Chains A and B, each alone.
Chain A
Amino acid sequence: MAIKVINEKCKGCALCVKACPFDAIDMIEKLAVINEKCTACNQCIPACPFQAIEKTAEEEAKVDLSQYKDVWVYTEQRNGKLMNVALELLGEGYRLSREIGNDAKVCAVLIGGNVEHLVKELYAYGADKVYMISDPLLERYTTDGYTKVLTDAIREYKPEIVIFGATHIGRDLAPRVAARLDTGLTADCTRLDVNTGNYIDYLEKYTTVNTEGLDRNNGDKNLKQTRPAFGGNLMATIVCPSHRPQMSTVRPGVMNKRERDDKAVGELVKVNHKLSKEDIHTNVVEVVKAAKELVSLTDAQIICSGGRGLGDASGFELIKKFADKVGGVVGASRAAVDAGWIDHSHQVGQTGTTVKPKIYFACGISGAIQHLAGMQTSDTIIAINKDPEAPIFEVADFGIVGDLYKVIPEIMAKWDEN
């Protein structure tokens, strides 16, 4: 894939230079020239009024894609408990496997020391099959140990798709596995599609893409992996057309679990593996749980977030009271975290946590793009800010221009009348 300028058609209008998010087009002697910053993101193609820019594709299948079939979910467990995101991904994996059709299954990959007690729960949340890899050496997560057994299993069973939760462990393991398999990996996806029709429905509903002329029935069964790019300013759909498996990490909190069904049954495959002590080069001496209260932003129904507009750290005392009153959890913008007013675990946004509560109160948050990227899919957004021009009002369902220190206590008082 490469972007090319057709020199005969280029009029040197430089509209493409403006459209390029990556500064990858130079004007040289009145002709557009693509430089090495190009990521083939395609933004320039529709921007050219003269159809002088095209994408050249030369795809040759590098592996026999037909051998690959099922959808695998890395069902991360810590201390013998499944992570929430593992269950969310089983729900998503179930959906994708049915989109692939042809009897493709959703399979959980369960790795650990002694984890057989979790198998039933995996069936209950939709797994058709569980590949279990257990060994005392896998009691605690190590990059080396988990990479080896997972890579070997993928080579043996050839899944079409492998998805991981984008947790600190998933983001350590997935890139290492993908590099060993020499396949592609897309980070932090917020949307996955196999079926082209569903993908086009998504584009129509949530994006600015003109979907006219897109063929809903083109039979393309590649995994379309959509993620925020460029600090959340752009969305990009990434494909991995000629390598298998197709691998993604997925943000916790964006996919939906299936309804728990304790009667569900599946098939258990105990995977043979060859792992020895010498394969593991790190020694996990201890795992320490932070004493601080756990902030479960991803599960919260209501979030009350504070930003730079609080003025100082003491503003979070009011936010905490507010959150307690409405039954919510305290969130924060990057500016407030960077100022040292509150711990990073509260941060909402591109580099913090992505949230989609029922109600999101943004208090004294201006609405930097990186913050919006992490909260704009909340059901209802309420913004309270002194500055009527603050970008947060662009995404808010309800906006109040005013002093948050005066308005919030009044909302709390009124809330009690419910």
Chain B
Amino acid sequence: MKIIVCVKQVPDTNEVKIDPVKGTLIRDGVPSILNHDDANALEEALRIKDQYPDTHITVLTMGPPQAKDMLTDCLAMGADEAILLSDRALGGSDTWATSNALAAGIRKIGDFDLIFAGRQAIDGDTAQVGPQLAEKLGLPQVTYVKEFSFNGRDITVKRALEDGYEVIQLQMPCLLTAIKELNKPRYMPVKGIYKACEKEITVWNAKDINVDLKKVGLEASPTNVHRSFTPAPKGKGIMIDGDSPKDLADKLVAKLKEKHII
């Protein structure tokens, strides 16, 4: 079986802090990581490979040259091949333009049975690229996949809803987006790290993937950022002082009453 896993390198937004005085982002020393949901997507592909060793896994990303580091991690986890789409012409793409670029990259890869992607990336949280890529490739999709099994070309998945799940059947080829509940991503084995260092990462530019330049990049994107800003900091609240937990609790409840909050 041939599987393509779409991944993204993201800043670890948990580590980002706001400068309380200037209200600006502090991103010094914030590490770049493999997006969480994408790690679940890759793990599911690796589990298929564990069972069927002739499975071939290609990880695909679009980003700046630094994204190679993340691809090396994916190879160390066990992917067979890694491809980076990188070109200034692709920069600033919104989700529509990104899906056009990824679709072009996948057409160049050629055959595949299954595409896995993460549900959403933690830097944008849009969850749009998976479905839009499926649309551009004309594939059926299931998003929010929390359980996966297959038999020949037939796939059965559980798709998470807010208050339960759906059981959905479909056939390969198709695109599935993974959520955290799907599995627990493995650590990189030491042997895998050695192997990954020996592997070449393929880098393709816009010309290599033969993409229409009117469909990628900042200029072509239907949406663009009109303005960005930081939310106004809320005024500092009241710190309750007290000698004992009881004293603190009494004063709090009294304040809430005084302000007609309760």
Q: Could you list which residues of chain A lie within 8 angstroms of chain B, going by C-beta atoms?
A: 1-2, 18-19, 21, 23, 35-43, 58, 143-144, 147, 167-169, 171-172, 174-176, 178-180, 182-188, 203, 205-209, 224, 228-243, 281-290, 294, 344-345, 350-351, 358-359, 368-370, 376, 379-382, 393-403, 406-407, 409-411, 413-415, 417-418
Taking CB atoms, residues of chain A closer than 8 Å to B238 are 397-399
- The distance from the CB of A13 to the nearest CB of chain B, in whole angstroms, is 16
Smallest beta-carbon distance A160→chain B, Å: 15
Q: Are A393 and B225 in contact (CB under 8 A)?
A: no
Find out whether the CB atom of B240 lies under 8 angstroms from the CB atom of A289.
no
The residue of chain A having its C-beta at the shortest distance from the C-beta of B87 within the complex is A36
Q: Contacting B27 at CB < 8 Å: which of A21, A184, A237?
A: A21
CB of B218 within 8 A of CB of A234, answer no
Partner of A238, one of B20, B25, B92, B224: B224
CB-CB under 8 A for A176 and B134, given A35-B91, A238-B223, A398-B252: yes
For residue B109, CB closer than 8 A to chain A, the reply is: no
A407 to B241, CA, bound (A): 12
Within 8 A of A (CB), among B1-59: 11, 13-14, 16-18, 20, 23-25, 27
Determine if B245 and A402 form an interchain contact, defined as CB atoms under 8 angstroms apart.
Answer: yes
Q: Would you call A399 and B222 a contact (CB within 8 A)?
A: no
| B64–A176 CB distance below 8 A | no
Asked if B164 contacts A39 (CB within 8 A), the reply is: no
A21 to chain B, nearest CB (A): 5
Q: Are A40 and B218 in contact (CB under 8 A)?
A: yes
In the assembled complex, B107 has its CB within 8 A of some CB on chain A: no
B159, chain A: closest CB distance, angstroms = 8
Query: What are 26 A-B contacts defined by CB distance under 8 Å?
Result: A39-B218, A40-B224, A168-B160, A180-B135, A184-B96, A185-B95, A187-B124, A203-B229, A208-B229, A234-B228, A234-B229, A236-B229, A243-B222, A284-B166, A288-B165, A290-B163, A344-B180, A369-B14, A370-B13, A376-B231, A382-B252, A398-B239, A398-B255, A407-B249, A410-B246, A418-B253
Contact indicator A233/B230 (Cβ below 8 Å): yes
Given contacts A185-B96, A208-B23, A285-B168, contact A242 B222 (CB under 8 A): yes
Indicate whether B99 reaches chain A with its CB closer than 8 angstroms: yes
Give chain B nearest CB distance to A155 CB in angstroms: 15
B110 at the interface (CB under 8 A from A): no
B14 touches A368 (CB 8 A): yes
Query: Beta-carbon contacts of B77-102 to A below 8 Å, as 1s and 0s?
Result: 00000000011101110111001000
CB of B249 within 8 A of CB of A411, answer yes
B162 interfacial contact with A, CB 8 Å = yes
In the complex, the chain B residue whose C-beta lies closest to that of A388 is B239
Name which residue of chain A comes closest to B174, CB basis. Answer: A281
B183 within 8 A of A: no
Among A175, A237, A240, A289: residue with most chain B CB under 10 A: A175
Is B186 interfacial (CB 8 A cutoff)? no
Taking a contact as CB atoms under 8 Å apart, the answer to whether A410 and B249 are in contact is yes
Q: Which of B99, B221, B227 contacts A209 (CB 8 A)?
A: B227
Do A209 and B229 touch (CB < 8 A)? Answer: yes
> Which residues, 141 to 176 on B, are CB-close (under 8 Å) to A?
141-144, 156, 159-171, 174
Expressed in whole angstroms, the minimum distance between the Cβ of A343 and any Cβ of chain B is: 10
> Residues of B at under 8 Å CB distance from A?
11, 13-14, 16-18, 20, 23-25, 27, 63-64, 86-88, 90-92, 94-96, 99, 122-132, 134-136, 140-144, 156, 159-171, 174, 180-181, 218-219, 221-234, 236-240, 242, 245-246, 248-250, 252-253, 255-257, 259, 261-262
Contact A233 B25 (CB under 8 A): yes
B245 touches A403 (CB 8 A): yes
Within the complex, what minimum Cβ distance (angstroms) separates B57 from chain A? 24
Q: Give chain A residues whose Cβ lies under 8 Å from the Cβ of B219.
A: 1-2, 58
Q: Give Cα distance in the complex from A197 to B231, angstroms.
A: 19
Contacts of B249 in A (CB 8 A): 407, 410-411, 413-414
Q: What residues of B have a CB within 8 angstroms of the CB of A285 in the complex?
A: 156, 166-169
Instruction: Report the separation of the CA atoms of residues A28 and B225 in the bound assembly, to the nearest whole angstrom.
Output: 26
The answer to whether B239 touches A401 (Cβ under 8 A) is yes
Whether A37 lies near B231 (C-beta < 8 A) is no
Q: Is the CB of A411 within 8 A of B252?
A: yes
Across the interface, which residues of B come within 8 angstroms of A382, CB to CB?
252, 256
CB-CB < 8 A to A286: which residues of B? 166-167
User: Contact between A230 and B91 (Cβ–Cβ < 8 Å)?
Assistant: no
Given A168-B144, A180-B135, the answer on whether A400 and B240 have CB atoms closer than 8 Å is: yes
Among A19, A179, A188, point to the contact of B125 (Cβ < 8 A).
Answer: A188
CA distance A144 to B259 in the complex (A): 52
Contacting residues, chain B, for A208 (C-beta < 8 A): 23, 229-233
Q: Point out the residues of chain B lying under 8 angstroms from A400, CB to CB.
A: 239-240, 242, 248, 252
Task: Tell me whether A23 and B144 are in contact (CB under 8 A).
Answer: no
With A and B bound together, what is the CA distance between A179 and B137 in angstroms?
11
In the complex, the answer to whether A344 meets B181 with C-beta atoms within 8 Å is yes
CA distance A108 to B153 in the complex (A): 39
Is there contact, CB below 8 Å, between B231 and A235? Answer: yes
Chain B neighbourhood of A232, CB < 8 A: 13
CB neighbours of B142 from chain A (8 A): 143, 282
